[in-house]
């Protein structure tokens, strides 16, 4: 069946370090792929998305590339800031016309100054 | 500010009780989604409404029910509450029904504590 697996945290980095959060999915088709971010005390908000193979989503210095061959959508940022501290969720959109987002478990990122 | 409003922000109640959570979607959004976030289960999709009609169902217990009213606000009713129902309940909205574009706007959540 359809599923998503996300790198478990927590992840602690120093400011300006490189970030990778791994996300892989299992699907019968080719879902659209999303990363959502949840800052402390807030609801989730869309960070970036990719709707087809080889698409690269980007926003706020974060990037993720839709890799059909490896069914992956890893989130990367070259230089993290303290303000990036949050929980990050990978979310494929499975299910065609009745599709709904299925969220990964979330990865908590803490960035230290 | 996402434009999605949820009330109450916090709620403490006892086992066996019933509560109602309310959600006002962004202006113009026709779809409302309910999610449950807990430490052990993560973020679980419960149910979706589109323009007053149920559109999709996820892992929603029979003790839970929801509806969307003509003014598009939605309510999630949780009854016969158990300790395990303690969680953060999120509402999200989007303008589309199906196909779902995946671009949702989330409220800040209602934190339910069952004692």
Digit-coded pLDDT (tens) for B16-72: 999 999 999 999 899 999 999 998 888 999 999 999 999 889 889 999 999 999 999
B58 in contact with A at a CB cutoff of 8 Å? Answer: yes
Counting beta carbons within 10 angstroms of the beta carbon of residue B73, is it exposed (0 to 12), middle (13 to 18) or buried (19 or more)? Answer: middle
Distance between CA atoms of A88 and A109, rounded to whole angstroms? 8
pLDDT tens-place string over residues A6-55? 988 899 999 999 999 999 999 888 899 999 999 998 899 999 999 999 99
User: How far apart, in whole angstroms, are the C-alpha atoms of residue B104 and residue A102?
Assistant: 12
Do B25 and B52 contact (CB within 8 A), yes or no? Answer: no
How many Å is the Cα radius of gyration of chain B?
Answer: 13
Distance between CA B107 and CA B101 in Å, rounded? 18
**Local confidence band at B99 (pLDDT 50, 70, 90 cut-offs):** low
Q: How many helices (H) and strands (E) does chain B have?
A: 0, 11
Residue pair A62/A56 in contact by the 8 Å Cβ criterion = no
CB atoms within 10 A of CB B54: 12
Select the residue of B102, B106, B108 nearest A34 (Cβ to Cβ): B102
Provide the greatest CA pair distance for chain A. 45
Q: B104 in contact with A at a CB cutoff of 8 Å?
A: yes
**Are B90 and A103 within 8 A, CB to CB?**
no
């Amino acid at each position: 069946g359809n599923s998503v697996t996300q790198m478990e945290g927590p992840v602690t980095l120093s400011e300006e370090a490189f970030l990778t959060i791994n996300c892989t999915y299992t699907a019968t088709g080719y879902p659209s792929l999303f990363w959502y971010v949840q800052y402390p005390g807030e609801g989730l908000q869309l960070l970036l998305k990719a709707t087809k193979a080889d698409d690269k989503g980007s926003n706020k210095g974060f990037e993720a590339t839709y890799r059909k061959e490896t069914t992956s959508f890893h989130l990367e940022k070259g230089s993290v800031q303290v303000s990036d501290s949050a929980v990050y969720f990978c979310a494929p959109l499975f299910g065609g016309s009745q599709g709904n987002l299925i969220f990964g478990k979330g990865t908590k990122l803490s960035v230290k100054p | 500010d996402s434009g999605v409003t949820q009330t109450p922000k916090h709620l403490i109640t006892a086992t066996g009780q019933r509560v109602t959570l309310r959600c006002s979607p962004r202006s113009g959004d026709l779809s409302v989604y309910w999610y449950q976030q807990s430490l052990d289960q993560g973020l679980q999709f419960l149910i979706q409404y589109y323009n007053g009609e149920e559109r999709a169902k996820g892992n929603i217990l029979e003790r839970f029910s929801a509806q969307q009213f003509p003014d598009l606000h939605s309510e999630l009713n949780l009854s016969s509450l158990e300790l395990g129902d303690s969680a953060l309940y999120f509402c999200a909205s989007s303008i589309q029904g199906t196909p779902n574009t995946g671009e949702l706007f989330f409220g800040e959540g209602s934190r339910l504590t069952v004692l």
